[in-house]
Every structure is written in C-alpha cells, then in structure tokens.
Amino acid sequence: MNYLSLKLNKFYSYNPRFEREKHLLVPIVLIILLFTVIAFRAPQLFSNNGIGGAIIIIAPLILAALALTPIALVGRGGVDLSVGPLIGFINVSLVSWLVGNGYTSPFLVVSYVLGAGILYQVIVAAIIIYVRVSPIIVTLSGYLVLTGVNLTIMNRPSGFSPEWMFNWGYGGEILSPIFFILSFMIIIWFLFSRTVFYQQILLTGADERMAFASGINTVATRFGAHIMAGIFAGMAAFTYTALISSGDPTQGNTYTLAAITAMVLGGTSPAGGIGGGLGSILGSINMYMISYVLATFNFGNVSGFVTQASTGVYLQFHYLLIVL
C-alpha cells in the first residue's frame, strides 16, 4: 500500500461510518461529473419528458443491479450471471403463459413474477449450498439453461403485456406507475438494509468461516440473500415487460453484463462483504448517463461500441483506484 492510500485510510478510519461507505466515493464523484456534463451538453434530459423516459428505461437496470447485490455481498465470488436470462424467462413466460391464456389480473401477474424469481433463486441457492459447487458455475449453468428455455417458449419477440400495462412504457411524465414501483422497491431495499439479517449477509460475505464460528446461520443467510435477489429480479422483469410491452426471449440476456457493470461501478465487490444497494443504484444511473452523454456526440455507426469501450474504461479506472 502506498503513502497516499495510507493517508486516505487514516482519514476515513476516524469515522467508522465513512469506513463502511467508502465504496460510494467513486460513484458519487462520477455522478456529479456526469450531471455537470449533461447540464451543458444535453439539458433536455432534465425536462419532465426526459426524466420520465429515463426512469422507465433505467428501472429494470436498477432492479437487476439490486438483485445482484445481495448475492455478491454474501460472498464466495457470487456473481449471478443468470440474472439476464431470468428476467427474460419471467418476461416470456408471463407474456405467453399468463397473458396468452387470458390471466391478466394485476395481483396474479405480480405474484407470478415474484414467485418465479424467488423459486428460481431458491433452487440456485440450494445447489450452491448443498451440492457445494462454486456460485459462478451454478449461475453459468442457469444462464445456459434459461437461454435455451426462453427461446423454446418463444422463438422471436412477440405477444403483448397485460392490457393495463400498455401505456406505462411511454414515460411522458415523471410520476408514472413505474416511478412508484421503483421508489417502493428502493424503500424496501433500504428497510432491508437496516435489518440484522442484512448485517449477517455482510458478515458471511466478508468472512464465512468467522461468521459460522460466531454462530451465524450461514445457510439461512445465503438462502435469504437469494430470496431477496429473486424478489428484485422478479420486479426487474415486471418493469422490463412494461418497458417493451411484449415478450422478448433474447434481449433480457443483455441485462446480465449491464447489471454486473452497474453493480461494480457502484463499488460492490463480487468478492463479498463490501458494498451496498445505494452503490448499485448510483452505478445504474451512471451507466445510463454515460451512454446518454456519449449519444450526444456524433460517433456515427460505431456509437454502440464507443459506449461499450467507455464502460470498460470506467470499470478499469475504478479498479485502478481500488488497487492504488
């Protein structure tokens, strides 16, 4: 460790609260920077329409990143690679099994998305805990299985979302239904992060052996973390369905890499124990704004790759800051 970081560490360690929220430093600096740039280059984002549209697009990403967070926090290098296909699975099965057969009551739809998310994550957690295979392999396997299943349920984008959801995807105003759902889920996250159970997730992730030796029920903790992940993945799929108003078997997969990037940009370490939900939320907003800023420059037909490359650069920059 070099002199600068020693000095910084000394500064932080005066206050234990700083020590715990240290991972938020980079995302906060980045978000201020991006807000400034956008204020100059694309002020239209801050209009009623702009913010409304941004919320609709960003909601699935935030919820997916929040779904990854408890699994990363609980440790063992748990990056949930299957979150994208899971969102896709809930989306296509909702559209073709429920809506396709005329079951469209809001209560049924919401309980289905939550139930499917939780059920899947419980299965994954059970395999991780009882078969004792590393999480990355289990979620990789889940990625492949669900990708195949999605394409079998629906071989190309088709179908409709429930009728009452049709006009949710326009985003002409800030206080849209998606806004309230997103706010509700974020409030749930913050209530969740105040619980003892959340502390146990952090402890298990930071040092599983020590947590076990201190009498924490690591098995229940891991199951709990995955159940939280399932709830958020289910709601991510719900908002995603509202966004595209139909079923799409392949586009959901893109959320895997996007959500992992957002989570890491938010300072949550896949190694476990460090990070939190606020970081993932900021990371997702940063991701969106990066692509928004880049869209204001004219890169022609390579703009998608400029966005991808710059996301990569931010990731590495972030890591360099941690390492130095």
Kindly state whether residue 151 participates in binding another protein, applying the rule CB under 8 A: yes
Tracing tokens 């099965």 back to the chain, one arrives at: 93
Partners of residue 158 on adjacent β-strands:
247
CB of 171 to another protein, least distance (A): 28
Question: Looking at the chain, which runs of residues are DSSP E strands?
Answer: none
CB of 270 to another protein, least distance (A): 6
Window of 58-66, 95-103, 160-168, 297-305 that interacts with another protein by CB under 8 A: 297-305
Tell which residue, 66, 64, 35, has the closest CA to residue 243: 64
Q: Report the distance separating Cα 321 and Cα 324, nearest Å.
A: 5
* Tokens found for residue 212: 């076990």
Kindly state whether residue 322 participates in binding another protein, applying the rule CB under 8 A: yes
Kindly state whether residue 297 participates in binding another protein, applying the rule CB under 8 A: no
Kindly state whether residue 295 participates in binding another protein, applying the rule CB under 8 A: no
CB of 51 to another protein, least distance (A): 28
Window of 39-47, 48-56, 86-94, 262-270 that interacts with another protein by CB under 8 A: 262-270
Kindly state whether residue 270 participates in binding another protein, applying the rule CB under 8 A: yes
Q: Report the distance separating Cα 227 and Cα 115, nearest Å.
A: 10
Instruction: Select 151 or 188, whichever has its Cβ closest to another protein.
Output: 151
Tell which residue, 60, 107, 92, has the closest CA to residue 233: 60
Window of 18-26, 38-46, 88-96, 268-276 that interacts with another protein by CB under 8 A: 268-276
Amino acid, single-letter form, for residue 20: R
Contact mark string toward another protein, 51..80, x via CB under 8 A: --------------------------x-x-
Tell which residue, 143, 185, 149, 160, has the closest CA to residue 94: 160
Kindly state whether residue 212 participates in binding another protein, applying the rule CB under 8 A: yes
CB of 144 to another protein, least distance (A): 3
Partners of residue 247 on adjacent β-strands:
158
Kindly state whether residue 140 participates in binding another protein, applying the rule CB under 8 A: yes
Question: Looking at 106-243, which runs of residues are DSSP E strands?
Answer: none
Q: Report the distance separating Cα 159 and Cα 287, nearest Å.
A: 29
Instruction: With H, G, I as helix, E, B as strand and everything else as coil, classify residue 14.
Output: coil
Q: Which of 239, 261, 284, 291 binds another protein (CB under 8 A)?
A: 261
Say how many CA atoms lie within 13 Å of 152 toward its Cβ. 6
Kindly state whether residue 319 participates in binding another protein, applying the rule CB under 8 A: yes
Backbone angles phi, psi at 278, to 5 degrees: -60, -40
Q: Report the distance separating Cα 35 and Cα 125, nearest Å.
A: 39
Kindly state whether residue 309 participates in binding another protein, applying the rule CB under 8 A: yes
Q: Which of 34, 37, 42, 127 binds another protein (CB under 8 A)?
A: 127
Count interface residues toward another protein (CB under 8 A).
55
Q: Report the distance separating Cα 182 and Cα 199, nearest Å.
A: 24
Length of the chain, in residues? 324
Tracing tokens 């690591």 back to the chain, one arrives at: 218
Window of 48-56, 91-99, 172-180, 254-262 that interacts with another protein by CB under 8 A: 254-262
Tell which residue, 85, 109, 28, 79, has the closest CA to residue 270: 79
Residues 1-20 that bind another protein (CB under 8 A): none
Q: Which of 10, 156, 194, 209 binds another protein (CB under 8 A)?
A: 209
Which residues make up the interface to another protein (CB under 8 A)? 77, 79, 127, 131-134, 136-138, 140-152, 155, 208-209, 212-213, 218, 257, 260-261, 264, 269-272, 300-302, 305-313, 315-316, 319-320, 322-323
